[in-house]
């Protein structure tokens, strides 16, 4: 945030008094709050997280699916995280189901 991302003139350009230069200044990364998906079904949790702008990775606890419910999420609910990484890809939220 606060860094100049681009300008209408190149560095070192010769300007005259009164000329305008347009700057694009970063507001920083777009942040989002991780929704609580504990005890939701994997499909419901995935839908909620994707609608919030995240990508979802599902892991099966101990390789089994018994209740088909989310028992853990990372990052935790109510965490404030970037919606996209430095490459512009959606942040991945990992949910563990059992």
pLDDT at 63: 58
Which residues, 6+ apart, have CB-to-CB distance to 24 below 8 Å?
4, 5, 6, 7
Question: Which pTM was predicted?
Answer: 0.67
**Cα 47 vs. chain centroid, distance in angstroms?**
15
- The CATH number corresponding to 30-97 among 3.40.1160.10, 3.30.10.20, 1.10.1660.10, 3.40.50.1400 equals 3.30.10.20
Per-residue pLDDT of the chain (98 residues; tens, 9 = 90+): 888 989 999 989 999 999 999 999 988 888 999 999 999 999 999 999 999 999 999 888 765 555 688 888 999 888 889 998 888 899 999 988 87
pLDDT at 66: 59
Ranges of each domain in the chain: 30-97
Question: CA–CA separation, 21 vs 5, rounded Å?
Answer: 13
């Amino acid at each position: 945030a606060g860094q100049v991302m681009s300008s209408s003139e190149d560095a070192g350009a010769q300007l005259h008094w009164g000329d305008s230069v347009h700057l694009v200044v970063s507001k920083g990364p777009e942040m989002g709050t991780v929704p609580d998906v504990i005890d939701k079904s994997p499909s419901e949790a995935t839908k909620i997280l994707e609608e919030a702008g995240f990508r979802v990775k599902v892991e099966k606890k101990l390789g089994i699916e018994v209740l088909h419910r989310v028992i853990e999420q990372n990052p935790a609910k109510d965490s404030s995280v970037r919606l996209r990484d430095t490459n512009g890809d959606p942040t991945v939220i990992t949910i563990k189901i059992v």
